[in-house]
Amino acid sequence: EGVGVQEYTAIKLEVKEWAEGAKSKVEGKIPEGGKVYFVPATLRPETMYGQTCCFVGPSIKYGIYEVVQGKEYYFVSERAARNMAFQNIFPEWGVFPKVAELEGSDVIGTLVNAPLSVQKNGIRILPMETVKASKGTGVVTCVPSDSPDDYATIMDLVKKAEYYKIKKEWAEIEILPIIETPTYGNLTAKYLVETMKINSPKDAKQLAEAKDLAYKEGFYKGTMVYGEFTGKSVEEAKPLVRQQLIDSGDAFAYAE
């Protein structure tokens, strides 16, 4: 990854209903009125309108960490919680109080509210086997219009819903065009995955190439076709959407 600092936007997806497998591990750990958020780290805040689900690594260990006593809790990897504790995200420098421990597989099916997403009834937590424990928060929000990894994972989840023990309709959600690009149209990820004949989310080499193409085309040539900044270039819209999410309390800056 080189020597640079990666400036992520950490998005707060509030839990509305825990999956069965999570209930016993969360029960009694969060006081009445306490809110728990799944916190994906993204480099593409301007795409958040198109969130259709949120991914965790099924065998990754996560914690629920107390950020505001009795009130606000984040579901992230321990590594991310530690980093956040040195970025003034927790009240006490270097301290990240853990109230519960879960595996990704425990939370599959949990219903969360995703800021800006057109899915106003919420989106589901789903498994993504290629999530890296060593990057970001270990939580990845899914935008299948613009992320080839997300698109390939969704196609696989829909195809093998039974194997993944999920409801097909949790994954099979209409894909919203957010960004128009001259070369790939308005569903960049779908276009690239199909034309490059990527058949699996584990097709790492081709997905890395697709990700690179999608990112460059989107950032330098993309125009917003959804939301408040429709008509603006992605380059212009990105910091505006990010600031809006931060100002509304739905996101915060996270670096590593």
Cβ proximity to ligand A2H: between 112 and 140 the closer is: 140
Q: How far is the CB of 54 from ligand A2H (least distance, A)?
A: 9
In angstroms, what CA-CA distances link 106 with 6, 13, 32, 110, 127? Answer: 29, 17, 22, 9, 10
Q: How far is the CB of 131 from ligand A2H (least distance, A)?
A: 4
2: region left, alpha or beta (phi > 0 left; psi from -120 to 50 alpha): left
And the tokens for 133?
């424990």
Contact predicate 67/90, CB 8 Å:
yes
Contact predicate 15/81, CB 8 Å:
no
Nearest-CB residue to ligand A2H?
136
Which residues would be at the binding site for ligand A2H (CB under 6 A)? 6, 41-44, 47, 131-132, 135-136, 138, 140-143, 146-147, 150, 211, 215
Q: How far is the CB of 77 from ligand A2H (least distance, A)?
A: 8
The residue type of 75 is: F
Cβ proximity to ligand A2H: between 77 and 110 the closer is: 77
Q: How far is the CB of 24 from ligand A2H (least distance, A)?
A: 26
The whole-angstrom separation of Cα 181 and Cα 167 is: 33
Q: How far is the CB of 168 from ligand A2H (least distance, A)?
A: 21
Q: How far is the CB of 6 from ligand A2H (least distance, A)?
A: 5
End-to-end Cα separation, the chain, in angstroms: 11
| Contacts (Cβ under 8 Å, ≥6 apart) of 33 | 70, 71
Cβ proximity to ligand A2H: between 11 and 15 the closer is: 11
Q: How far is the CB of 170 from ligand A2H (least distance, A)?
A: 17
Burial class of 1 by CB neighbour count within 10 A (0 to 12, 13 to 18, 19+): exposed
Cβ proximity to ligand A2H: between 166 and 234 the closer is: 234
Contact predicate 64/73, CB 8 Å:
yes
Q: What is the CA radius of gyration of the chain?
A: 17
Cβ proximity to ligand A2H: between 64 and 234 the closer is: 234
